Amino acid sequence: MTTNDSAASPSPEVLRYAAFTTDPAGGNPAGVVLDAAGLDDAAMPAIAARLGYSETAFLTARNPGAPGTAEPVYDVRYFAPKAEVPFCGHATVAAAVALAERDGTGAGGYLFATPAGEVPVAVDTVGGVPRATLTSVAPHVEAAGADDVAEALAALDWSADELDADLPPRIAFAGARHLVIAAATRDRLARLDYDVPRLEALMRRLGLTTVQLVRRASADVFHVRDPFPVGGVVEDPATGAAAAAFGAYARELGLVPATSVLTLHQGEDMGRPGVLTVTLREGDERVRVSGTAVRIPA
């Protein structure tokens, strides 16, 4: 079902989806507005704030489409309750599934023109369930300053000896910037009670969207959590943008082979479990993130 929320008239249809799950009570809820052409820069953040999800995606169809591409092209903006973000993975997955369902195809290909760059998204079905795969913009990984890491740990109330030395802190980007910090134990990851204003101040100074907290469970399976205070959300339940950035991080540090499929579990500690699949391809620097999405009933 849908809700009508808008500061403009007429009110646009606001869809609600849960991404990276097949359970409406799991994964990460996202708002999706498939026709945002009539919304201005005040209306979009107002809708996102009222909805209260970590992000809402606002799509505007281009006509004609971009030269050289057969896929429908959409300009997309993403708003959290407190801020606009350059790219959001879970809202991208939700929006692509919503488009495929609206178009009655159950599958399709789309090109999302986001503030971070162009993001191709493909939708297929697996066992009758729609699944979207986004392909990130070109990623990069950079060093994290020792003082900045120390400040992050202080805000998190973590100590340096609770970190995994094989996964050193880095700032990773695949559409948005994320500070990656790896815990040495699953128990440390499970206990998240941080100083919200202190971490938010650090993140704003460094231009971060989330801090991605990671625990490696096996060679290609990871548990992750993402504090998101800059967006007005204490924690993001499933974070596709951070998953793409983490894929770039894992490849850059040589943690996984050049061609790999990683499984990220997120949201378990929040009671909203989700699964994100990260695919790396040798010879292609971009990162692919896949996941299901399901409509949230009113």
The catalytic residues are 55
Which residue is associated with the tokens 């959001």?
Answer: 88
How far from 139 is each of 12, 60, 123, 135, 294, CA to CA, in Å?
34, 25, 22, 11, 28
Which residues partner with 179 through β-bridges?
171, 211
Distance CA 172, CA 188 (A): 22
How far from 4 is each of 37, 59, 81, CA to CA, in Å?
15, 16, 17
Q: What is the DSSP string of 72-130?
A: -EEEEEEE-SS-EES--HHHHHHHHHHHHHHHT-S-EEEEEEETTEEEEEEEEEETTEE
265: nearest Cα among 224, 296, 236? 224
Orientation of helix 146-156 relative to helix 196-206, angle to 10°: 160
Distance CA 56, CA 45 (A): 9
How far from 221 is each of 76, 97, 241, 289, CA to CA, in Å?
31, 25, 17, 14
β-bridge pairing 284-295 and 274-281: antiparallel
Q: In a 3-state reduction of DSSP, which class is residue 240?
A: helix
